[in-house]
Chains A and B, each alone.
Chain A
Amino acid sequence: AQSVTQLGSHVSVSEGALVLLRCNYSSSVPPYLFWYVQYPNQGLQLLLKYTSAATLVKGINGFEAEFKKSETSFHLTKPSAHMSDAAEYFCAVSGTSGTYKYIFGTGTRLKVLA
């Protein structure tokens, strides 16, 4: 069964530093891969999605993610962290084999230090 692993439940970076949030999926290439962001007491907002059209996907707020089939990874990056990036980030895949369920990672809380 498909699973999604996010390495690091908490990540801290200094303002202006590179942001790298890791995500690995378990097995067959899912139809879609997503990154979502959640600010405190808010719902999840889509940052970007991979649809197999291009391996490097650009999203909102300067984030991007690279799909690497050989590593079963879909890591999220941003060249320069901003204080407003502090939030929780979720990696997710869409269901396979005609299922309706999404598979979410457990989330990574990003802290940005001044």
Chain B
Amino acid sequence: DVKVTQSSRYLVKRTGEKVFLECVQDMDHENMFWYRQDPGLGLRLIYFSYDVKMKEKGDIPEGYSVSREKKERFSLILESASTNQTSMYLCASSLWDGDRGTDTEAFFGQGTRLTVV
């Protein structure tokens, strides 16, 4: 079974703190993603990575950065946490289907509910 593990289920941080959300996958997937999920807004892509040290901005990258030093690990960094970053954060990984030029299914972690006070 593919496993995507996020380091924390619940996190409370203060405004202005630097926050690290860690994600590890154990299936040698090339692609990894960070989403945030807010009521009424669905899933929004923050960043994704298709290879070690490679990253691409998603739809809402402002206020975030990422790091992928090893294939299995993808970290999301909130440089200076703000209250509007209070949200559910979901990490996912997927295998690239080279024949079809697209991803197969995404496997999600359990999510990190971040509260910034």
Contacts and interface: CB of A to CB of B under 8 A. Distances in A.
B interface: dominant SS: strand
Interface stretch (A15-23, A40-48, A73-81): A40-48
Interface of B: 4, 6, 9, 31, 33, 40-43, 45, 48, 50, 56, 58, 88, 90, 92, 97, 100-111, 113
25 contacts: A31-B101, A32-B97, A32-B100, A32-B103, A36-B108, A41-B113, A42-B111, A44-B90, A45-B108, A46-B107, A49-B104, A49-B105, A90-B43, A92-B106, A94-B104, A97-B101, A98-B102, A100-B103, A101-B48, A102-B33, A102-B106, A104-B43, A105-B42, A106-B41, A107-B42
Contacts of B111: 41-43
Given A31-B100, A100-B56, A101-B48, A43 B110 contact: yes
A31 B90 CA distance: 23
Nearest to A34: B105
Interface residues of A, number: 27
A96 B100 CA distance: 9
B75 to A, nearest CB: 17
A44 B4 CA distance: 11
Contact of B102 (A31, A41, A45, A46): A31
Interface of A: 30-32, 34, 36, 41-46, 49, 90, 92, 94-102, 104-107
A99 to B, nearest CB: 8
A98 B111 CA distance: 27
B104 A43 contact: no
Given A43-B110, A44-B108, A107-B42, A98 B101 contact: yes
Nearest to B42: A106
Contacts of A100: 31, 48, 50, 56, 103
B94 to A, nearest CB: 8
A95 to B, nearest CB: 5
A107 B35 CA distance: 15
